[in-house]
Structure 1
Amino acid sequence: MPDYGHSLEFGTFITPTVTDPDRVVALAVLAEQAGLDLVTFQDHPYQAGFLDTWTLLTFVAARTERVHLSANVINLPLRPPAVLARSVASLDLLSGGRAELGLGAGAFWDAIEAMGGRRLTAGQAVRALEEGIDVIRQVWDADARGPVRVDGDHYRVRGAKRGPAPAHDVGIWLGAYKPRMLALTGRAADGWLPSLSYLQAGDLEKGNAIIDEAAREAGRDPSAVRRLLNIGGRFATAGRGQLDGPPEQWAEELADLALTDGVSTFILATDDPGDLRTFAQEVAPAVRELVAAERQGSPAKKVERVIGDDFGVVPTADDGVRRSKVQPWDESTRPTGPAHDPGRTYTAHENAAGQHLIDVHDHLRAELTQIHELIRQVEAGSMGVGQARDHINTMTMRQNNWTLGTYCESYCRIVTTHHTIEDRSLFPRLKSADPRLAPVVDRLAEEHHVIHDVLESVDKALVALVSEPDGMDRLREAVDLLSDTLLSHLSYEERELVEPIARLGVL
């Protein structure tokens, strides 16, 4: 099938688990920080283990500034379309034009019926969805004359006022697999949103053909329908199957889906911050480059890693962003280790050893993101200190019954333990295995002492938060400094040690 020529977009599909709501929000914030275009959440209102999707979308919209947001997909049988239309338009207005609308005809009918919804046959569900789309579009058409009127078999809206209109042309994306739903997508929707795991070989081609034919019969250009795709997979040092391998393999496979099957939005289902970051910072740019080269008729360059292109693990780059005016050390004086041997190859086991360090660091980065999110809420006045303590007590990321102070203290203790292990075990072994690493190892150990002092300042600021009028300012300054020192240090450590760890096998 043709390339429909849409600009490429990349997003994530986060599980809205109720057991750790702060982590759900932190992952959404991280998606924006990493450069993704879209954040989505599944919508199962009958699932007590999930946060309510619409409430979550609204909350995340208030915590982000750029990323677009959508359900993936909204359960229409439990959300009346006229009310849903106004909810979407309101969120779009409040967020500056960042709301989209993924829609589904419904599934799990026993659960829907248990929640008070009406059980429908497959044909009835498709018809109800088509009527629902009509209702939604009429409500959004605030400039049209007369009230909303839809006299359907499943939705009857007779005389409702129109409006508000969304801030931008909200896309209606349908989760469709069967011919009737695909034809409806071509007639009435702005996007097709299936999941790759539910498709068989050739289903994208067949689905596109049905959508395109229905669009033409309705007088529409088939390119008016964006093709989106939920994907999942595993990042690994060696390729073992579709979307199971290194980032460059992912890039080539997704570029092929874009050019062959017209997919222009790729949404990765993951709750792993490391995978999210790899997808955003390595896979997405490479896919864009490959597709752009093909569209321009120029030969595409082989996808290569920006850092660590001679071994199978990619250190996390330092983005250079600094929050604090304080500079605890001079980064320009950091020594570097020996150059990598370009002829050296690495086994999967060796690469796994190097990746382990990054995985540990990624967890620390995710924890730090949550600390910032919590402090933003308290600082903005949307949550009091006491409320924050109560809220954190529900978190299960590491242990139960946390308070604001012990949460940060636990995080600091984890960092300190991590560094103590390095100082007493990893660092001496590296120096012994390769003496050329001694300057780097010594510098890293020195930075650990600085980070320890910064962690002490966080402890002192926690006391000030309760006892002094400017306690929040002091805490913000301390945590900003912790971010600068820790993130800079972790990137430096990975840059200098990931390859030696893989080469020397000291983990």
Structure 2
Amino acid sequence: MTDYGHELLFGTFITPRADSPDRVVALAQLTEQAGLDLVTAQDHPYQAAFLDTWTLLSLIAGRTERITVSPNVANLPLRPPAMLARSAASLDLLSGGRVELGLGAGAFWDAIVANGGPHRTPAESVEALEEAIAVIRGIWGQAGPSVRVDGKHYRVRGAKVGPEPAHDIGIWVGAYKPRMLRLIGRLADGWLPTLGYLQPEQLPEMNKLIDDAAVQAGREPGAIRRLVNVSGSFGRGGGGGISGSAEDWAEQLAELTLTHGLSAYILAGDDATAIQRFGAEVAPAVRERVAAERSRPSAPAAPAAPDSPAQAEAAPTPAPGESITVRGEIPGVGLTPTPDDGTRLADRTVWDESERPVAPRIDEDHKYTRHEKARGQQLIDIHDHLRQELAQVRDLVDQVEAGMIGVGEARSAINEMTLRQNNWTLGTYCESYCRLVTTHHTIEDQSMLPFLRRADARLAPVTLRLEAEHKIIHEVIESVDRALVALVGGEGDLKGLRAEVDLLTDTLLSHLSYEERSLVEPLARYGAH
């Protein structure tokens, strides 16, 4: 068994999608709010669908307060090491020491070449990475007043040192092959593979390669942190990776620490609920299990936590799953959201309501003005209109069943409703209530929800959950439409249509109540745009 005794770290591995930049930043802010230590992003500079990773990390650092940022991992062939070193040091200074450097030797060589980079063989990649680490450490002032690396791939002759970073930035290398693992043992501060590209049973052999190289270089094996990207799902298995309850996750990750020395777990994926559960449920449970085992006399003692923002005490985060059947007015706002009475008509569900994040109180002592209260009341009024339309949908089904109208007429009437016009990737909040029936002028998912996240980062879990629910509601409404089409074509029946309408009723009423309980106060305080 090998436990190198490092303080545990937990983080996220976010996709830098250029088509949803606000969501990418919101997920990073959620990572911090969930109490995690790191937020990382993959770096594929040749990928036109991705944001530039260093630009993204800079914005994330500016929009957060304590969390550490890192590329996962930086694409060395397209990022000259001297410039990479200065970029990392600059961001470290600007962020108060919140940068680490994940570094990769390169992959997808055709794409690299297409963007002006070199094409390297595996052996050349190892050589280039070794030279690059020397350049980077030299720029950071770790090898004297000037930098001279006369390498095959990088020639730096007399470059001046600086800027020096705010703290000793760690170089974490993503690698799997023996030569690269030995390089990590000799030169790097951390090893950052992805679970899935390797299996746990391979860890002893790979760790040994790193450890032996470290000893031969006069280093302690424990000087190299072992990090890992992990993926999976909460619940029953599917799609690979770790699966099961939060307790199952904690058990498996703690075992990886105590048996194989892994000490940093970075959750790959863009699911907001999974990120929150990873921070609120998994990370504390892993820490507790590992601390208990390390406290045994035979276990190596963990070193004191480094003075790093990544290790800072996590801010408390609201517990998920607060019931939305809460009744009564919101204190200070004086408005009463419409409660969900808990009645369910369908025999199936499309989401787990217990996983819904809870919106924080904005300010317990704030007294809202009449104008501010009107902003919150507007959401309730709009939702009441949608509730009325839902009742009309159910009434139309009753009329079809009674033979009072045809299915085609019912479908036409539903398609004209605000409920149907709104595709639910856009939401329901509009700038002026009088425009509601004809159009949704202000768009939730593209305007209001991102605005609220920018106004108060604590709202990120709730707003991201609402966006996810909007998409699901769209799918449910489409199912109602498909049931109507099937009935018109003689391939469906009223029982099937009613089942879809019942599911829509459960889903929509639950969502509207949750949205009101979560957003009435933020809308009153901050507005919608």
Q: TM-score with structure 1 length normalisation?
A: 0.66
Q: 1:353 to 1:314 in 2, by over 3 A?
A: farther
Distance 1:228 1:397 in 2: 39
Look up the equivalent residue of 2:64 and give its one-letter code: T
Deviation at 1:407, TM superposition (A): 2.6
Alignment of 1:91-490 (within 5 A): 91-141=91-141, 145-236=144-235, 243-297=242-296, 315=321, 326-328=332-334, 353=349, 355-358=351-354, 361=356, 398-399=425-426, 406-408=442-444, 454=520, 458=523, 476-478=525-527
Given the superposition, is the C-alpha separation of residues 3 and 328 from structure 1 closer, same or farther in structure 2, using an over 3 Å criterion?
farther
Which region of structure 1 is more displaced relative to structure 2, 162-171 or 144-153?
144-153
**Does the 8 Å CA contact 1:196/1:230 hold for their aligned counterparts?**
yes
Q: CA deviation at 1:138?
A: 0.6
Query: Is residue 150–residue 158 contact of structure 1 (8 Å, CA) maintained in 2?
Result: yes
Alignment of 1:62-81 (within 5 A): 62-81=62-81
Residue of structure 2 in register with 1:435 after alignment:
none
State the Cα deviation string for residues 291-332 of structure 1 (Å, max 9, x = none).
000111299xxxxxxxxxxxxx972599xxxxx99354799x
Aligned to 1:434: none
Give, as a single letter, the amino acid of the residue that structure 1 aligns with 2:33: Q
Shift of 1:234: 0.9
Counterpart-to-counterpart distance in 2, 1:94 and 1:397: 39
How far off its partner does 1:453 sit? 10
Inter-CA distance 240–75: structure 2 relative to 1 (3 Å threshold)? closer
Paired letter, 2:425: R
Question: What is the CA–CA distance in structure 1 between the aligned matches of 2:246 and 2:191, rounded to whole Å?
Answer: 25
Secondary structure of the structure 2 residue equivalent to 1:40: strand
- Cα distance in 1 for partners of 2:92, 2:191 equals 21
Deviations, residues 94-151 of structure 1 (Å, cap 9, x unaligned): 0010011000011111111111111111000110000000000011017x64411000
Q: Distance in 2 between matches of 1:133 and 1:98?
A: 20
Distance apart, 1:176 and its partner CA: 1.0
Report the AA paired with residue 332 of structure 2. Answer: V
SS of equivalent to 1:141: coil
User: Residue 488 of structure 1 aligns with which residue?
Assistant: none
How many Å apart are 1:206 and its aligned residue? 1.0
Pair 224,327 (structure 1): closer, same or farther in 2 beyond 3 Å = same
Q: For residues 53 and 408 of structure 1, do their structure 2 counterparts lie closer, same or farther at Cα, with a shift above 3 Å needed?
A: same
Post-superposition CA distance 1:340-386 (Å, at most 9, x none): xxxxxxxxx99x84953246x46x979x9xxxxxxxxxxxxxxxxxx
Once the two structures are superposed, residues 433-481 of structure 1 have per-residue CA deviations (whole angstroms, 9 ceiling, x without a partner) of: xxxxxxxx9xx999889759948x94xxxxxxxxxxxxxxxx754469x
CA distance in 1 between counterparts of 2:255 and 2:268 reads 19
Paired AA for residue 117 in structure 1: G
Partner-residue secondary structure (3-state), 1:228: strand
Is the 1:239–1:245 Cα contact (8 Å) retained in structure 2?
A: no
In structure 1, what is the Cα distance between the partners aligned to 2:49 and 2:102? 21
Q: Which amino acid aligns with 2:52?
A: D
- Total equivalences in the alignment: 383
- Paired letter, 1:181: M
Task: Between the two structures, name the one with larger relative contact order (CA 8 Å, sep ≥ 6).
Answer: 2
| In 2: Cα distance, 1:15 partner to 1:123 partner | 29
Distance 1:411 1:290 in 2: 43
The amino acid of 1:148's aligned partner reads V
What is the aligned partner in structure 1 of residue 398 from structure 2? none
1:21 and 2:21 are equivalent in the alignment? yes
Cα RMSD, aligned residues only: 4.4
For 2:515 and 2:222, how far apart are their aligned partners in 1?
A: 58
What's the CA shift for 1:203? Answer: 1.7
TM-score calculated relative to the size of structure 2: 0.63
Judged with a 3 Å threshold, the aligned counterparts in structure 2 of structure 1 residues 285 and 155 are, in CA distance, closer, same or farther, namely same
Paired with 1:452 and 1:296, the residues of 2 have a C-alpha distance of 42
Match of 2:46 in 1: 46
The residue number in structure 2 matching 1:433 is: none
Report SS of the residue matched to 2:263.
strand
* 8 Å CA contact 1:139, 1:165 repeated in 2: yes
Structure whose CA Rg is larger: 2
Partner residue in 2 for 1:56: 56
Q: Which amino acid aligns with 1:85?
A: A
* Kept in 2: contact 1:2–1:259 (CA 8 A): yes
8 Å Cα contact 2:323-2:354 kept in structure 1: no
Write the distance in 2 (CA, Å) between the matches of 1:452 and 1:234. Answer: 26
Amino acid at match of 1:53: T
The equivalent of 2:437 in structure 1 is none
Indicate the structure with greater helix content: 1
Distance 1:158 1:397 in 2: 58
Residue identity in the other structure for 2:199: Q
Aligned residue in 2 for 1:503: none
Look up the equivalent residue of 2:168 and give its one-letter code.
D
Q: Secondary structure at the match of 1:196?
A: coil
Evaluate the alpha carbon distance shift between residue 190 and residue 328 of structure 1 in structure 2; reply closer, same or farther with a 3 A threshold.
Answer: farther
CA distance in 1 between counterparts of 2:86 and 2:268 reads 28
The letter of the residue matching 2:16 is: P
User: Secondary structure in 2 aligned to 1:263?
Assistant: coil
1:205: Cα distance to partner? Answer: 1.0
CA shift at 1:244, angstroms? 1.2
Task: Rate the CA distance shift 1:128–1:448 in 2: closer, same or farther, 3 A.
Answer: closer
Structure 2 counterpart of 1:93, one-letter code = L
Please give the alpha-carbon distance, in whole angstroms, between the structure 1 residues aligned to 2:103 and 2:424: 32
2:196 and 2:241 in contact (8 A); partners too: no
Q: CA 1:453/1:157 → structure 2, altered by over 3 Å: closer, same or farther? A: closer
Q: Structure 1 residues 60 and 242 mapped into 2: Cα distance closer, same or farther (>3 Å)?
A: closer
Contact 1:20 1:397 in 2 (8 A): no
Whole-Å separation in 1 of the counterparts to 2:46 and 2:430: 31
Identity %: 53
Provide structure 2 residue ranges, at least 5 long, that are not aligned to the other structure.
Answer: 299-318, 325-329, 363-422, 432-440, 450-465, 478-500
Is this contact kept in 1: 2:139–2:162, CA < 8 A?
A: yes
Is the 2:229–2:266 Cα contact (8 Å) retained in structure 1?
A: yes
Code of the aligned partner of 1:407: I
